[in-house]
Amino acid sequence: MSSLIWYIYDFARKAWTDAFADAKTSPEIAEKPERFRDFPKVNKEYCIGCGACTVSCPSPNAIKIVREKDDETGEGLTYPVITPGACIRCGFCAEVCPTEPKTLECGLNHLILPEFNIIPSKRQYIIDDYLCIKCKKCMKKCPVGAISLVDGKMFVDQLKCISCGECLEVCPVNGAMKGVFVDNLQDQKDLILLCVNYLEDYINNKEEDLRALEKDGLLQYEVPLADFWDEAIKIIPDDEVALEIITNAVNRLKIRIIDWDKDKCKKCQLCIPDCPTKCISFDEKEDTIVRDKNRCLRCSICYQTCPFSVIKYFIAKFSLEDDKIIYTTVKASNLNEDIFME
């Protein structure tokens, strides 16, 4: 009996009754979370009336494009109207909306954001299966176990990779493990093109050296990188990235060069029909044979065809180390001599 009275006394305390009466769901549960994708917000003034949102919408009655009445100030605005009773808040309309800034805004949409990457790294590590010798050193070295053998090929799981670069250091084959830059592929192509064009022009301008070159002789030049560094940095404004791209390209580069002395040319025109891209032509006014550099494949067919050995064919290789000088080696092709030997 005493315990019952104690209970009644306990429940009748003011603090308890107040707490009981005020019991509420905490506001953070009742409110929408910050990242919640609510109904799309329409910014009327940006709409161009393209209708992409209505096409992308999975629900038949959710979006209607309406046009306001024309008045003295001009044409009435055209804009989408969202019906909440049919909208499923998927955010597709905001995703396809082509205007800038967007007419339709619909929360944080993962497909609008750039590709998800755990580590903000400029590099993506990939393995060249052609060069890889499957020594599995990278697999053992990887601190997060991102590298594995899949279908007999080494494979880097990009979601696990933390871009530490350990695999690149441990790889015994030069070029099998690659840390490639993935953001600016077109800029990288432009940079390599600039570099190759500069080197080819540089060698082509040494006409006397090329024509005086003996059969087994070598020409050696030192081309400072600074000559075209300013232009390179304009294409990719990151010193480290630009230098690495040029180094990789130049060290693997092999340029073939075609050159002939126009004075010695006998104008027999035998090379013209043999050219596979028809880039060699006979200029009747000037009485010379001309070659269109941009269409030439450097295939050496003209060099092999020329009966007077006027057309010369050279192979150039390059090496770029830390001292920022491109060491260039040019040697004459011995293709014709081999044929004579046989």
Q: Which residue ranges make up the site for other proteins (CB under 8 A)? A: 23, 25, 29-32, 36, 39, 58-61, 83-89
- Residue 41 CB, shortest distance to other proteins, in Å, is 15
Backbone angles phi, psi at 181, to 5 degrees: -90, 130
In terms of phi and psi (left: phi > 0; alpha: psi -120 to 50; beta: otherwise), the region of 185 is alpha
Of 87 and 177, CB closest to other proteins: 87
Of 4 and 30, CB closest to other proteins: 30
Of 59 and 99, CB closest to other proteins: 59
Beta strands in 144-215 (DSSP E): 147-150, 153-156, 177-181
Q: Which residue is listed with tokens 């549960």?
A: 29
For the record, the structure tokens of 201 come out as 């022009």
Contact 182, 138 (CB under 8 A): no
Of 26 and 294, CB closest to other proteins: 26
- Residue 92 CB, shortest distance to other proteins, in Å, is 12
Of 55 and 131, CB closest to other proteins: 55
- Residues 154 and 150: their CA atoms lie apart, in Å, by 6
- Residue 56 CB, shortest distance to other proteins, in Å, is 13
Contact 319, 263 (CB under 8 A): no
- Residue 61 CB, shortest distance to other proteins, in Å, is 5
- Residues 177 and 199: their CA atoms lie apart, in Å, by 27
Strand partners of residue 315: 256, 331
- Residue 182 CB, shortest distance to other proteins, in Å, is 37
